[in-house]
A and B are shown apart, each in its own frame.
Chain A
């Protein structure tokens, strides 16, 4: 019986890894999230999952740091969900050989597209979804967490914050002492290299593939070059009898100044010393480790659900920050990777709708992301495409896209379908849809009503 159960579990873990790439439900705090991650946690980290009583925000609530308080209060920090549990399990594995560190830190997921990680003096480590989406193996993640633990072990956050406070007082720059994030993004090169060394050491003793540290570092510090939704793909995505993509593309292509060329670094990434110096130092450390000839296995497969979740959470994070061009770009890129994903179709629709609303009010610039350089692909191309469209073209494009995709059975998408129909067709229709919506949506008849109306 046990044997057959074991076979069944193994079979299931190979046949169905527990998550679908055709939809996505946002991670919920204190609740189970992804089945795939649950399965992975149970399989690999059972003994390392923190007890439920530990999964709370007490340390963060007690934090005197105003910035952290705001992140928590605004729901930007995940806790008690499968993704946070997973990160904590990796962290626990890293410190298994250093029992004195246990219970001195806690890893949280910070929902933002900015690729970074922060460690606070109280042991709170925040890893952003932007960073998680860039990585591609568990070992790369282990390096990130190991590096942050290195900062904590060496008390870098405490020293750096104290130093900044002192300077702030000295020059009466009260605003500088207020933002610990800015301060903690400015460690000295020496601090960073010390943390790298500890990260590698922890990875080695926990059996992670320390060679992945080099890739991890490159991914943290360089723009993400994996973003390349092609022009052909964009044309295909927005193809519709209602809308002529070709005419717009010609305009967009000629508008070269709107293009943002990939750059080596940007403001959000200038927190680390020059990449090359750190890479050389890391290579030297790894060369010393390799003499011990430890066998390490490839763990990129285990990272697949984490990457998927991080990508989807990034789309939500940029949407809720009002960065609709970024959220649209990430959704389009996502749909290229995960075709027919209902969540992505919904997010493209919502973002197009908001961009069209901004454009309608002559305020599109407000919805465009200021810092574009974290993407090394063709972010500028998507942005130029949206910027070049006239108000009416953008409305038509939005209407066409939602109309072409709304029969997915998603009730929320149907709501947007009705809304864009009003927006596109005029205010007369608006009243009809809204009054019907008010009366019938609760009973679930609204979707049917809109479908019939639009046929």
Chain B
């Protein structure tokens, strides 16, 4: 079933144009086995439309759909994938620390302009992380509370298909250890989002 899904998403990716670009730190294979638990930061879904003097808009409903997908992925992969917060409760530490971490991950992940780089088109590439992307060292404290050093964050941009970026940070090492950028020319339906997420975490956990 998993294999089928992977083939399907690969077909969707390359059959309709698009790319998958993965970068991971050199020692990533040894880290993968330690990733029993991943803390998932709230995903973001942006809709980008030009022409009305207004560019970005968040899609709250899509974000909720994606959040639910993580619970299903957790079962499929047999690894704990815990949302850092449900986003509706008031946990001061969440706002004071976890959200800062999310923003730092966004900065570190945004250093390359995947979106406009046409050289990726139609390919799946896997490379070692060429740049050391650090995050502040004071997030070490979160490891105790959340029981894992691995925090992942995904954001989606709907514009001419869907662009998705998934980043995994190791807060013990204070750096980004894995990044996957991909563009798939499909609509942002629930099933498509589910498949994209599955595909990303399948690559993360299995190296395939």
Binding site for B on A (CB under 8 A): 26, 28-31, 56-57, 61, 66-67, 69-70, 73-75, 80, 173, 175-176, 178-179, 182, 319-322, 350, 353-354, 357-358, 360-361, 363, 366, 411-412, 415, 419, 422-423, 430, 434, 437-438, 441-442
Contacts and interface: CB of A to CB of B under 8 A. Distances in A.
B58 A29 contact: no
A15 B49 CA distance: 56
A54 B62 CA distance: 31
Contacts of B88: 61
B58 A67 contact: yes
B174 A66 contact: no
Interface of B: 42, 44, 47, 49, 52, 54, 57-60, 87-88, 90, 92, 94-96, 99-100, 102-104, 106-107, 110-113, 131-134, 136-138, 140, 172-174
A175 B92 contact: no
A322 B96 contact: no
B111 A358 contact: yes
10 contacts: A74-B103, A80-B92, A175-B52, A175-B57, A319-B107, A320-B104, A350-B136, A415-B136, A419-B134, A438-B173
Contacts of B92: 28-31, 80
B57 A73 contact: no
A437 B59 CA distance: 40
Given A30-B92, A179-B57, A358-B111, A415 B174 contact: yes
Nearest to B59: A66
Nearest to B57: A178
B102 A366 contact: no
B132 A430 contact: yes
A361 B131 contact: yes
A422 B54 CA distance: 42
A73 B110 contact: no
Contacts of A411: 137
Contacts of A350: 136
Contacts of A57: 90
Contact of B111 (A31, A173, A361, A437): A361
A342 B23 CA distance: 35
Given A29-B95, A175-B49, A357-B131, A412 B137 contact: yes
A29 B107 contact: no
Contacts of A415: 136-137, 174
Contacts of A178: 54, 57
Contacts of B110: 322, 366
A412 B136 contact: yes
Q: Which of A57, A75, A357, A430 has the most CB of B within 10 A?
A: A75
Nearest to B85: A73
Contact of B173 (A70, A354, A422, A434): A434
B144 to A, nearest CB: 11
B137 A441 contact: yes
Contacts of A363: 111-113
A30 B174 contact: no
B90 A30 contact: yes
A182 B54 contact: yes
Given A175-B57, A179-B54, A75 B106 contact: no
Contacts of A80: 92
